[in-house]
Amino acid sequence: MSEIRRPEYGSTLDRFLLERQRQFPEAKGEFTQLFQQLALAGKIIASRVNQAGLAGLLGHTGKVNVQGETVQKLDEFANDTLIRAIEGGGQVCLMGSEENEDPIPIPTKYPKGRYVLMFDPLDGSTNIDVNISIGTIFSVHRRVSEGGEPGLADCLQPGRSQLAAGYIIYGSSCMFVFTTGNGVHGFTLDPTVGEFFLSHPDIQMPERGKIYSVNEGNEGQWDDKVRGWVDWLKTPNKEQGKPYSARYIGTLVADFHRTLLKGGVFAYPADKKNKNGKLRLLYEAAPMALLAAQAGGLASTGTQPILDVEPTELHQRVPLYIGSKLDVEDAIARVR
């Protein structure tokens, strides 16, 4: 019987962050601490997601959030967990969440830091109760306002000025995937140890894929160009490696995670119902766009790079085309 090979454990998340920190002699460790708190929040949320059916955490709270969506119990739990994990650390001066209408101030009893944290506490709400992968998405900026209290302007920064972005996916395994502007790295949680270990160093997105991912149930709302582009992806063409295969999970984090590793294109176009698409710029599209760019991919609204969109509202939505560079370029050429 062949010997069971002990899994190769890469570096722990903490060790990886400390090694990165050493590359910046002026660093004070705030960034490292911020990531450690995000990881802690991720572990707590992962443990509740795993036991949701037993812990009475399935179903909704009866409340409706600023997006007009019914708030799921796990949405609320994840939101509270992130706020509590971050607010007392002293690295962040302001937060913005999908679940909160206004920016979230740091209680006066805690010190304020230099960073602004935007997050979608639990992405994929429609998949929570049916045991399909969901996730937490985050984006980190540096405070831009000087003196006094930080404000909305500190949240409304373009994607290109993100210092870091990432997500924690709660799926068949829990993974923490992020970039600090130096490549995209994936860590897998070993729940028996309670540690994230480096499992996917320096992820590179394939330049072209074979998968397209879009909610075709919205086809009736699309304009002719979007419909034409999706039909083109489905039309057999040997030279072009078509038709592409359809995959759609309905959780941005999960559809993006697959696209990051396997290539292809994910899209949530604008349509007659959602004039600006459905996904939110600051804590969904922009963080994913930074990850895509750092992994050699691309992200666009169809007319401009997501990273260049100047935000005007905390919860503004944008059309999103994201994935392999050549596939997104094909999309832009056809939907623009």
Contact between 126 and ligand FBP (CB under 6 A)? yes
Residues in 63-92 that interact with ligand FBP by CB under 6 A = 69
d(CA 285, CA 42): 20
Contact between 316 and ligand FBP (CB under 6 A)? no
Contact between 125 and ligand FBP (CB under 6 A)? yes
DSSP summary character for residue 74 = H
- Residue corresponding to tokens 């750092």: 294
Residues in 243-302 that interact with ligand FBP by CB under 6 A = 250-252, 278
List the one residue out of 73, 67, 72 whose CA is nearest residue 98.
Answer: 67
Query: Could you tell me where the DSSP H helices lie in 72-209?
Result: 73-87, 152-155
Shortest Å, Cβ 88 to ligand FBP:
25
Q: Which stretch binds ligand FBP (CB under 6 A): 44-52, 124-132, 193-201, 204-212?
A: 124-132
Residue 304 CB neighbours (<10 A): 13
CB closer to ligand FBP, 69 vs 190: 69
Decide if 51 contacts 33 (C-beta within 8 A): no
CB closer to ligand FBP, 112 vs 317: 317
Contact between 99 and ligand FBP (CB under 6 A)? no
List the one residue out of 140, 129, 121, 193 whose CA is nearest residue 30.
Answer: 140
Structure tokens at 283: 């804590």
CB closer to ligand FBP, 123 vs 330: 123
Q: Which stretch binds ligand FBP (CB under 6 A): 119-127, 146-154, 156-164, 231-239?
A: 119-127
Structure tokens at 97: 């969440």
CB closer to ligand FBP, 113 vs 135: 135
Helices and strands (H, E) in the chain, number of each type: 8, 15
Contact between 211 and ligand FBP (CB under 6 A)? no
How many residues make up the chain in this entry?
336
Shortest Å, Cβ 128 to ligand FBP:
8
- Residue corresponding to tokens 């992820």: 203
Shortest Å, Cβ 126 to ligand FBP:
5
Query: In the complex, which residues of this chain contact ligand FBP (CB under 6 A)?
Result: 69, 98, 120, 123-126, 215, 250-252, 278
